[in-house]
Amino acid sequence: LKIKQAIPETANLVSPADISRLGGRIRSEPPNSSLYTYEATMTMQSGGGEKELPLNPEQLLLRGATLRNTPWVHGIVVFTGHETKLMRNATATPIKKTAVERLVNVQILMLGGILVALSIVSSIGDLVTRATSGKKMWYLSYTPVNGGKQFFSDFFTNWVLYSNLVPISLFVTIEIIKYWQAILISSDLDIYYDKTDTPANCRTSSLVEELGQVEYIFSDKTGTLTCNMMEFRQSSIAGIQYADEVPEDRRSTGEDGDMGIFDFTRLEHNRRNHPSAQIINQFLTLLSTCHTVIPETSSEKGGKIKYQAASPDEGALVEGAVTLGYKFVARKPRSVMIEVYGEQQEYELLAVCEFNSTRKRMSTIFRCPDGKIRCYCKGADTVILERLGGDNPYVEATLQHLEEYAAEGLRTLCLAMREVPEEEFRRWQQVFNEAATTVGGNRAEEMDKAAELIEHDFTLLGATAIEDKLQDGVPDTIHTLQTAGIKIWVLTGDRQETAINIGMSCKLISEDMTLLIVNEETAAATRDNLQKKLSAVQSQFQSGITVETLALVIDGKSLTYALEKDMEKLFLDLAVICKAVICCRVSPLQKALVVKLVKRHKKAILLAIGDGANDVSMIQAAHIGIGISGVEGLQAARSADVSIAQFRYLRKLLLVHGAWSYQRISKMILYFYYKNTALFMTQFWYSFQNGFSGEVIFESWTMSFYNVLFTVMPPFVLGIFDQYVSARLLD
């Protein structure tokens, strides 16, 4: 569910009479294909003058959208027909040439060369026969002819005679077989997910045999290896840990919480009677207000509120705040309402600095019930910690807790806050409004710059830890794929410790593996680290250490340096030696760049698999893109060549359907060559017996219907139904 709402200045115009009196103009961006961005301004008459108001994706209803919480809306059309964003995205999945297709094209050219050679040999044979045996075979009535003219006449005669040696119908046969192979994949109940009624879907049938030749898999983590069903498990507030379930050996018995963990029930007590009470209040207020979640009240469930969140993380944090007594109850265009232990509080929303993959944080600015303006910010630890002010006594304890959470495989966020003076906010609001009314393609960049001006000198409140469980069958699937010789790279935006822990959980890496960790701050240090590790590995190979024992872990900052032109080959040489690679804290662009790097330097088939919009660039960069139809939506599935519902289905998709398809196509092509060669080489050898006269050995119907009727079924049966090894053995 996406938030779509009118700007406050027009939200109260609900009757036709109100709409008829509305005057103004809209300045909109030109038509484009971006579904998630929109830049426009509305200029309205206000108080005898004009007022320019920003419009963003929240005010844009796309063609094909369905209204959920209102029966009707008034609107103005900004794009029509082929200029709508939906139509501009209505393009077919790009056609990718497979290795088999490229090889077949070369072989067809070779057969064309053989056809020319046979025609030349037969034409020369006719001239030689005329010259040497013409008088002996007087009964054939050979007449003197021009040698050159006769050669060309014979050449084209023989060309037609042998032309079916080049199997033109092979291409049609291949396409039909691939189409049926795609149907077999889509109808396989073993890769059908009944919980969501989601079958596998081959969006393009041209790549089915590539599935059987994959050497590298590039996988996202959240929603791909994990369920993307988030649950709020632990928090660190003012340097004190709280959790929903606390093991007895870690339970805190002291009042200060310096040692051990309190359970969540202790929070209410500490919120009232503890030195950190004020920070606890701000922490929980941030959880319940700093988000884009929409509350839906269900009349069928006694008025219970259901939260519709754009991402599972936000939903889990809001649900977590509810369990801790801070209930988010309503959202208005310019305010949010929360209920704190039965007492309702309204926070006036002044501005939102939205999350994106570059900023890695989200900020909301409220005028709180006490009249003060506060900026609440949540985001990755790397971006929050560098924006803290000087007086932050809980940084060291929070960092230690973050490491503990990451070691348990939990997803972490840091929460921070600052009070903003009125004068500073007024000055900043002017800058922010100017950025918000920018039209021309750089609004997002200008708004990011404006956000930087107020996101500083934060007070660290604490951190959250969210659990995202592994999908069923992931460890077994990864182990099986690695046993099959496929190398798996995991590209994730999570912390290094979280990524390593998940890698251990899913059997991507094991305890006996040597971890090569690269997390440097500068390009020079990154180069030295990579060079040192590569030299050590190459020297140790002679001592018997194999790739089975190596795994590379690199963070986003080091990866930025490693992908530079002068360092990328060094990074790749080290990475391909390792059995597994984990890239953490990476952006969507970096995911695509890693795939393109391997694609550029390695002659191997690459597969990328992901579930969210941030995986689309990676999916499209690989030879084969697999999309997971999951909680994050269908952006990845729509951009992929094949979509599945669970990561574990990848095993049968590659090891059974992929292997079968590759063997079937290969055998069918070879059979096609064989049957055509058997027929037309017989015709060629017969030419030596008939004096290269161009006489046909077969009856004309045989020649005409040989490929289209008499031998049409064996290639299809072989290409669609052949199982060179049983599915049980392959899987």
Q: Is 346 annotated as a binding residue?
A: no
CA distance 495 to 382: 9
Q: Are 57 and 292 in contact (CB under 8 A)?
A: no
CA distance 287 to 131: 99
Would you state the torsion angle of the CA atoms of residues 685, 686, 689, 694, taken in this order, to the nearest 10 degrees?
-110
Place of tokens 């939102």: 352
CA distance 438 to 41: 8
Q: Is 722 annotated as a binding residue?
A: no
Q: Position 385: which residue type?
A: L
The closest alpha carbon to 514, from 568, 485, 553, 557, belongs to 553
Q: Is 378 annotated as a binding residue?
A: yes
CA distance 188 to 186: 6
Q: Is 611 annotated as a binding residue?
A: yes
CA distance 389 to 164: 79
Q: Is 555 annotated as a binding residue?
A: no
Radius of gyration for the chain, computed over Cα atoms and rounded to the nearest angstrom: 34
Q: Name, in order, each residue with C-beta under 8 angstroms of 730's C-beta and a sequence gap of 6 or more.
A: 655, 656, 659, 660
Provide the phi-psi class of 197: left if phi over 0, else alpha when psi is between -120 and 50, else beta. left
595's tokens: 């795939």
- Of the residues 220, 313, 468, 641, only one is catalytic, namely 220
Burial state string for 377-410 with b = 16 or more CB within 10 A and e = fewer than 16: bbbbbeebbebbeeebebeebbbebbbbbbeebb
Q: Is 579 annotated as a binding residue?
A: no
Cα 439 to its chain centre, rounded Å, is 29
Q: Is 355 annotated as a binding residue?
A: yes
261: β partners: 251
Q: Is 585 annotated as a binding residue?
A: yes
Coil vs helix vs strand at 672: helix
Eight-class DSSP state of 261: B
Eight-class DSSP state of 245: S
CA distance 616 to 641: 11
The closest alpha carbon to 108, from 171, 50, 62, 57, belongs to 171
Q: Are 435 and 447 in contact (CB under 8 A)?
A: yes
The closest alpha carbon to 140, from 693, 510, 574, belongs to 693
124's tokens: 């020369």
List strand residue ranges (DSSP E) for 49-133, in order: 49-55
H-type alpha helices, 134-168: 147-162
For CA atoms 533, 477, 627, 622, the dihedral sign is positive
Whether residue 220 lies in the annotated active site: yes
Coil vs helix vs strand at 286: helix
585's tokens: 């804290």
CA distance 579 to 513: 9
Q: Is 472 annotated as a binding residue?
A: no
Q: Is 492 annotated as a binding residue?
A: yes
Q: Residue 341: exposed, middle, or buried by beta-carbon count in 10 A (0-12, 13-18, 19+)? A: exposed
Place of tokens 């501009």: 88
Q: Are 61 and 78 in contact (CB under 8 A)?
A: no
DSSP 294-312: EEEEETTTTTEEEEE-SSH
Segment holding 128, helix H or strand E: helix 99-133
Q: Give the residue ranges of the annotated binding site.
A: 220-222, 314, 355, 378, 411, 492-494, 585, 591, 611, 614-615
Q: Give the residue ranges of the annotated binding site for Mg(2+).
A: 220, 222, 611, 615
Q: Give the residue ranges of the annotated binding site for ATP.
A: 220-222, 314, 355, 378, 411, 492-494, 585, 591, 614-615
The catalytic site residues sit at: 220
